[in-house]
Amino acid sequence: MVKNLGPDKNGIKKGAWSDEEDEKLRAYIQRYGHWNWSLLPKFAGLSRSGKSCRLRWVNYLRPDMKHGNFTKEEDDLILHLHSMLGNKWSAIASKLPGRSDNKIKNRWNTHLKKHAKADHNVQESKHHAAAMQLADQANQKKQIEPKVQNGGKMNLAGTSSSVSPSCSTLTKLSSCWLSGADCGVSRNVVPQIFDYQPLEDFWTEPFLEDITSSVDSMLSPSNAVGHDLIAQSFSKDMMLNDEFSWSMLDSCIEDNNEFMCCWDCIQ
């Protein structure tokens, strides 16, 4: 189960920890704390590197560490957090008391990744359907609304009917971002979304209602220059009524510098 390597040329032991070593490390930290990982092994009487001691403590010996199987709730939470944060194991671990980042990473790689992959395939199908619906809506909208003049920072109504080469399929719309002036929107156009702060505490973050109100505000006629262009081309419902729109919003939040829509993709 564990690596069992001999000591290296510096006399630093590697591989599996013995009960005696565990006890030494636990006793030392409980008495003195881990004030300096590099010096700790020497003072604790261990022939280990500071790194190794830290890892052993963080992943296994910490008093609050859980050692049993993961619960369904924990699995669900990992899946959810991973969908939001990606491979930010330490960030995910901070939301699961008693589980180390290493344990969560192992759990993901051995159990949850395949589940997520299966879910992803379902989501891809949903995105495809949603994108097609959005494209239909856009086409209908184009027929009943005059084209927006090209004076704004972004060309939402689109003067070109061509599809960007970077997003050749509608199923990839959620991750398709155009660069350049053809459809980029500067930060000051949609401040409410870009001023969204990264998750500090997932459970206290605003949910749908709060974000919807932000979009309401974004679309308000009193907002800064460029909003009228957005308001003419997007409606709140179009932005938030399906998975596709949510993934767009997620990407907006993730990329805090520049809002690049792929509106042209569906023109």
List residues near DNA by CB under 7 A.
1-5, 14-17, 36-39, 50-52, 54-56, 59-60, 87-91, 101-103, 105-107, 109-111
**Stretch (H or E) spanning 27:** helix 19-32
Burial zone of 212 (CB within 10 Å; 0-12 exposed, 13-18 middle, 19+ buried): middle
Residue with Cβ nearer DNA (110 or 162): 110
**Stretch (H or E) spanning 260:** strand 259-260
Q: What is the DSSP letter of 64?
A: T
Residue with Cβ nearer DNA (90 or 150): 90
Distance of CA 170 to the CA centre of its chain: 22
Rounded to whole angstroms, the Cα distance separating 41 from 32 reads 12
Task: Give the Å distances, CA to CA, from 143 to 97, 136, 182, 234.
Answer: 54, 11, 21, 15
Residue with Cβ nearer DNA (95 or 227): 95
Q: Which residue has the tokens 């660069």?
A: 179
Smallest gap, in angstroms, from Cβ of residue 156 to DNA? 34
Q: What residue spans of 108-160 are helical by DSSP H?
A: 113-144
Smallest gap, in angstroms, from Cβ of residue 30 to DNA? 17
Residue with Cβ nearer DNA (30 or 169): 30
Smallest gap, in angstroms, from Cβ of residue 62 to DNA? 12
Smallest gap, in angstroms, from Cβ of residue 174 to DNA? 21
SS3 216: helix
Smallest gap, in angstroms, from Cβ of residue 179 to DNA? 23
Residue with Cβ nearer DNA (36 or 159): 36
Rounded to whole angstroms, the Cα distance separating 110 from 116 reads 12
Return the ∠ at Cα 105 (arms to 100 and 107), rounded to 5°: 95
Smallest gap, in angstroms, from Cβ of residue 67 to DNA? 7
Residue with Cβ nearer DNA (2 or 122): 2
Smallest gap, in angstroms, from Cβ of residue 40 to DNA? 7
Residue with Cβ nearer DNA (114 or 147): 114
